[in-house]
Structure 1
Amino acid sequence: MTDLESALTIPDLLAAAATRYGDATAIEDGDTRLAYRQLDQLRRQAGRALLALDLRVGERVAIWAPNIHEWIVAAIALQSVGAVLVPLNTRMKGAEAAYILRQSGASLLFVVGEFLGTRYPALLDGEDLPALRTRICLRGEAPGCLGWTEFMALAAEVSPAALEVRQRQVGPDHLSDLLFTSGTTGKPKGVMSAHGQNLRIVRDWSTMVGLRPGDRYLIVNPFFHSFGYKAGWLAALMSGCCILPQQVFDVPVMLERVAREKVSVLPGPPTLYQSILSHPKRRDYDLSSLRVAVTGAASVPVEMVRRMASELGFETIVTAYGLTEACGFVTICRPGDSAERVATTSGRAFPNVEVRCVDGAGNPVPAGEPGELLVRGYNLMKGYFNDPEATAEAIDADGWLHTGDIGVLDEAGYLRITDRIKDMFITGGFNVYPAEIEQVLLGYPGVAQAAVIGIADERLGEVAMAFLLPAAGCSLDGDAFLAWCREQMANYKVPRRVRVLQAMPLNAAGKVTKDALRRLAEDDAG
């Protein structure tokens, strides 16, 4: 039997966790309480149901749902039979989700009937999805979807022995997930990661942040993101924690849950902690159970880190940096690092992961000097799915991943991210890629050219602003344009401001100079 520390695949890990933690609670989700042993039984049942649907090794299976316990059951079940998890962002519109379903060739889709007023299955009506043969509702119901109870009943058609045979065919180098990220081309690319590398890096992350058996982990970060999936429920199950899924970022609800459910682990973007600290009724809640905070690479005020320790009682506060192409993990602060170091850096490289900053010619720059951040190690992706050209562009012949981020390394190897070559910006914790939005904007009638930049926003950090060049003889109405945008894309991508130009500022190569657009935006704001 596989031991917890030596498990090389995600299903083996859960089987070992069930043996070690048994009747300890793995998930509390509303009225549902699942012990580790029960979670493993459900995972096996769902795995047999997938075999009944003739799911093959290597097939892709998508999940489009908020943070609920069925998400975890479905994910580990599909990984148990050698399929590849494709998470879909719950904020996506139908066309955005359909693009990823087509690109991944997903043959199955787990979905919820409805969430926050959106009927997800209906969003795919009229979309061409030739590979998708089965849809299963994790909760609720929808036309053309198998219900969860109906799906789980299919397990009766397959023996437990058949599942064991299939599970033994899954090894550490088999793909476990395909997370889609947008690049500068504006088209989302599927990042291939394998079981073994995910488990190895998550073990190190869990050790460094100090997860313990019995920790109560409130997972606010979405399961569709590596922060909510790998540093979320996967790390929790590896460490014997109790998972408390949170579907919506709602500060009063979170405060109430921390107090009532004695939450000890609460990672999230800086906005999460800022929102808690500034909440007028914070002192009405007993937050003394909080112990571990982990936040992202966005700029973090030193004073906020100090207040998290003194006012919220966190013992461990670390910042980290990662990207999907590196299993989500590259650098992390260590417990005991000063508030200044936690706030002003993203930590140093994980064990057996290398980072360096290089100049335009690819030569390493001295400590304290900015350069493009390169990463090398076992945690790098297996490549972009069905895109060898993009893979070769991202990872050079010496095995270094070119992140496109500008960083500074200090003498001790601590990283500070200072800029983004790729113009990406972060809206409320979500990565936003201007090129992807620009492609959508060109579909608006009368737009000849479109450019998008990130502008400062007090609540969300940065938001999109669009600059439009009308086609000859056309006029553009800003309000109508923004209303159209809200129908076309996830709300975090939607431009909050728009400006129509008579000419785009171009450089000598004919490319839009985004610095000039930023100056225009500042003039507008001023």
Structure 2
Amino acid sequence: MLNKKLQIVARHVLRQSLGHKALRWLSTSSPAHSSYLHHIGKEPLAYRNVGQQLELAASQFGSTEALVSCHEDKRYTYRSLIAEVDRLAASLRKLGLNKGDAVGIWAPNYVQWYLGMIGAARAGLISVGINPAYQAPEVSYCLNKVDIKAIIAPETFRTQNYYEILRSICPELADSEPGKIRSEKFPHLRAVIINSTQSLKGALRFDDVLGFSNADEQAEISKLQRHILPESPCNVQFTSGTTGNPKAAVLSHHNFVNNGIHVGKRNEIAGERICVQVPLFHAFGVVITIMASMATGATIVLPAAGFSPEDSLKAIIKEKCTVIHGTPTMYVDLVAMQRKLQMPLGKIKKAITGGATVSPQLILDVKSVLGVEAMHSVYGLTESTAVIFQSQPGEEGNRVLDYVGHLTDHVEAKVIDEQGCLVPLGQPGELCVRGYLTMLGYHGDEAKTKEILGADKWLHTGDQFVLEKDGYGRIVGRLKDMVIRGGENIFPKEVEDFLNTHPQVVEAHVIGVPDERLGEELCAFVRLESDVDPKSFTNATVRAYAKGKLAHFKVPHYVVPVDSFPKTTSGKVQKFKLLKQFEETFPQKKDQTQAVRV
């Protein structure tokens, strides 16, 4: 019997000699095969900031295209990109922004978003991604929540006029000298930078700002990098805001750089050309896309400023994209568009999905309709930088059907019950993670930070999760989404996955609604194929399809056909809005619904 000291030595030796293979030994040595794993990385973590990561990319992949914006007809190599980034970084500093100041980026997928985020990082500033769909009250909240000192935005996009919204909430803007705003409502705000060909009152033109700095000032940016600590804040990500005001998760350079490295390597995107459908302001866009591409020398292709499945298909062909990034709902629309247009897409090596759970049927559709060779999934939270679990290279096809991926490098994971105790491997509980990827905290909200991130540094995800002994995991559902129907626990995701296999269903989402007898019942909202009469798709239709395939208590009592789903820009369905829609469809249930909310 090894004594305690010898056990510690033995573990250390195994870690050094076996690397990731030690994972299984360490997990199965825990009591009763409990749900705890530590995936020891093959390589050490990188200790550098985002600016240094870009310098490394420019030296390694200088002539490789880093960014292609199809809708703007702009191209940058890694070498030309860093030159443009440093022009902006030096100019932001010349505007009076100092280390640690916040720069808001309120825009869809334009080149200015990429330059703004990396330029802020190179200048020692903190970029703040703001949802481009936000309206005046939401933008006001963001400006004050994190004390934004400068904001970058386009003049307009679709029906949104960003300048006019800013002027409506900050009336001092029109009478201010550009770059010297003094606002009672927004005491920290100094500069509004608009990407426009016009001169707008009180605002700076983006192209003019690029020209503020000279060569010597731009050269100073490179020297500045050694003074920007990797542990320092780099970016603020607002949570999706599906309920209440969004929280402001603060992420570090260390978070960004290392998660990008691990995502890029695990997805094998080195040298690939990526059709980017996801919004850049979201963790998917900024880390899984930008940082992973920077770490591997991949090329980012922006088909359109906002998601457009037809533009995505055209960009795949024109730019010879070999990888696609998108949320599940984006792939649903992309598959539908390809069925309609039947475009010659060429060889697509992989489609990477994240941001929400994906149904097995959708994975099969992506492979068969889009001709994608492999589909990779990534799973994580805003608060975990981006990715906790992700697919592995060369894994069996059924892995992505059943799991969200394998635990990423240098991360601990455990699954616990309501008392905080470990559950056995293969049993559901709440997933908690610990490692380099956890956020620094919620800005200005210590109480909320403590709710999710304990003093022991374990991050509570709120996801009902199953962890297997080989390091793979799967989501059962959100803890708060679980429906209790007559004493039976039901996770909507299971029912959604089943409904998505119905040949007439394009997309399905399920919520719990009040019921006097059972406490809760299931209501399924379904988007149907265009040739299906919505009146013909009822509870009876679902019940007949479910016979012999799904337990009777999991069959939705209510079925509501819809044309579309209310979603955040990042692709998450806002289920609280579906509950409101249920109240409107079945008004007799409204009083019960209000009681359930209380």
> Partners in 1 of 2:75 and 2:386 — Cα distance?
29
Q: How does 1:316-335 map to 2 (within 5 A)?
A: 316-335=374-393
The code of the aligned residue for 2:577 comes to P
Aligned to 1:126: 169
The code of the aligned residue for 1:90 comes to P
Contact 2:87 2:210 in 1 (8 A): yes
The code of the aligned residue for 1:217 comes to I
Out of 78, 87, 97, the residue aligned to residue 55 of structure 1 is 97
Aligned to 2:527: 458
Q: Does 2:282 match 1:231?
A: no
Query: Alpha-carbon deviation of 1:282?
Result: 5.7
Contact 2:254 2:436 in 1 (8 A): no
> Partners in 1 of 2:415 and 2:161 — Cα distance?
46
Contact 2:338 2:370 in 1 (8 A): no
Counting helix residues as a fraction of each chain, which structure ranks higher?
2
Q: Does 2:464 match 1:406?
A: yes
1:229 partner SS:
helix
The code of the aligned residue for 1:242 comes to T
Query: Alpha-carbon deviation of 1:376?
Result: 1.1
1:166 partner SS:
helix
The code of the aligned residue for 2:169 comes to G
Which of structure 1's runs of 4+ aligned residues deviate more than 6 A?
424-427
Query: Alpha-carbon deviation of 1:422?
Result: 3.8
2:326 partner SS:
coil
Q: How does 1:10-89 map to 2 (within 5 A)?
A: 10-29=50-69, 30-89=72-131
Could you list the per-position Cα deviations for residues 243-262 of structure 1 after superposition, in whole angstroms to 9, with x for gaps in the alignment? Answer: 11132222222112211211
Q: 1:120 to 1:321 in 2, by over 3 A?
A: same
Q: 1:121 to 1:319 in 2, by over 3 A?
A: same
Q: 1:295 to 1:459 in 2, by over 3 A?
A: farther
Could you list the per-position Cα deviations for residues 162-208 of structure 1 after superposition, in whole angstroms to 9, with x for gaps in the alignment? Answer: 32343331121111101111679823211111112221111011001
1:231 partner SS:
helix
Contact 1:302 1:339 in 2 (8 A): no
Query: Alpha-carbon deviation of 1:409?
Result: 1.9
Contact 2:50 2:257 in 1 (8 A): yes
Contact 1:305 1:339 in 2 (8 A): no
Query: Alpha-carbon deviation of 1:373?
Result: 1.3
Could you list the per-position Cα deviations for residues 407-430 of structure 1 after superposition, in whole angstroms to 9, with x for gaps in the alignment? Answer: 122332322212213449999xxx
Aligned to 2:398: 340
Contact 2:356 2:572 in 1 (8 A): no
Contact 2:259 2:287 in 1 (8 A): no
Could you list the per-position Cα deviations for residues 133-165 of structure 1 after superposition, in whole angstroms to 9, with x for gaps in the alignment? Answer: 101013454432100121112113962343234
The code of the aligned residue for 2:439 comes to M
Aligned to 1:137: 194
> Partners in 2 of 1:274 and 1:326 — Cα distance?
26
> Partners in 2 of 1:188 and 1:78 — Cα distance?
22
Out of 86, 91, 95, the residue aligned to residue 133 of structure 2 is 91
Q: Does 2:437 match 1:379?
A: yes
> Partners in 1 of 2:589 and 2:334 — Cα distance?
44
Contact 1:56 1:82 in 2 (8 A): yes
Contact 1:330 1:350 in 2 (8 A): yes
Contact 2:89 2:218 in 1 (8 A): no
Out of 158, 168, 177, the residue aligned to residue 235 of structure 2 is 177
> Partners in 2 of 1:121 and 1:491 — Cα distance?
27
Could you list the per-position Cα deviations for residues 270-325 of structure 1 after superposition, in whole angstroms to 9, with x for gaps in the alignment? Answer: 23333333336567422123112111264433343244335433233211211011
> Partners in 1 of 2:367 and 2:526 — Cα distance?
26
Could you list the per-position Cα deviations for residues 443-478 of structure 1 after superposition, in whole angstroms to 9, with x for gaps in the alignment? Answer: xxxxxxxxxx99634279xxxxxxxxxxxxxxxxxx
1:95 partner SS:
helix
By relative contact order (CA 8 Å, sep 6+), the higher-ranking structure is 2
Could you list the per-position Cα deviations for residues 207-239 of structure 1 after superposition, in whole angstroms to 9, with x for gaps in the alignment? Answer: 0111112x2111110011010111112222222
Indicate the larger mover: 23-32 or 326-335.
23-32
Aligned to 1:210: 268
Out of 274, 277, 283, the residue aligned to residue 220 of structure 1 is 277
> Partners in 2 of 1:44 and 1:320 — Cα distance?
32
Aligned to 1:464: none
> Partners in 1 of 2:340 and 2:469 — Cα distance?
40
> Partners in 2 of 1:188 and 1:248 — Cα distance?
22
Aligned to 1:267: 325
Out of 194, 199, 210, the residue aligned to residue 152 of structure 1 is 210
2:258 partner SS:
helix
Q: Does 2:460 match 1:420?
A: no
Q: Does 2:452 match 1:394?
A: yes
> Partners in 2 of 1:410 and 1:357 — Cα distance?
10
Q: 1:281 to 1:314 in 2, by over 3 A?
A: closer
Query: How many aligned residue pairs are there?
Result: 456
Contact 2:284 2:354 in 1 (8 A): no
RMSD of aligned residue pairs (Cα, Å): 3.2
Q: 1:303 to 1:234 in 2, by over 3 A?
A: same
Q: 1:55 to 1:356 in 2, by over 3 A?
A: same
The code of the aligned residue for 1:25 comes to E
Aligned to 2:596: 513
User: Structure 2 stretches of 5 or more lacking a match?
Assistant: 1-44, 171-184, 483-491, 497-508, 512-521, 530-565
Contact 1:107 1:132 in 2 (8 A): yes
Query: Alpha-carbon deviation of 1:126?
Result: 2.8
Contact 2:237 2:248 in 1 (8 A): yes
Contact 1:208 1:335 in 2 (8 A): yes
The code of the aligned residue for 2:67 comes to I
Structure showing greater radius of gyration is 2
Could you list the per-position Cα deviations for residues 314-369 of structure 1 after superposition, in whole angstroms to 9, with x for gaps in the alignment? Answer: 23321121101100111112133333320222112111112221111001111232
Q: Using the aligned pairs only, state the percent identity.
A: 28
Indicate the larger mover: 19-28 or 326-335.
19-28
> Partners in 2 of 1:491 and 1:333 — Cα distance?
21
The code of the aligned residue for 1:404 comes to G
Query: Alpha-carbon deviation of 1:55?
Result: 0.9
Contact 2:84 2:115 in 1 (8 A): yes
Q: 1:413 to 1:280 in 2, by over 3 A?
A: closer
Aligned to 2:159: 117
> Partners in 1 of 2:80 and 2:415 — Cα distance?
47
Q: 1:172 to 1:199 in 2, by over 3 A?
A: same
Query: Alpha-carbon deviation of 1:40?
Result: 0.7
Contact 2:277 2:330 in 1 (8 A): no
The code of the aligned residue for 2:191 comes to T
Query: Alpha-carbon deviation of 1:491?
Result: 12
Aligned to 2:144: 102
Q: 1:353 to 1:321 in 2, by over 3 A?
A: same
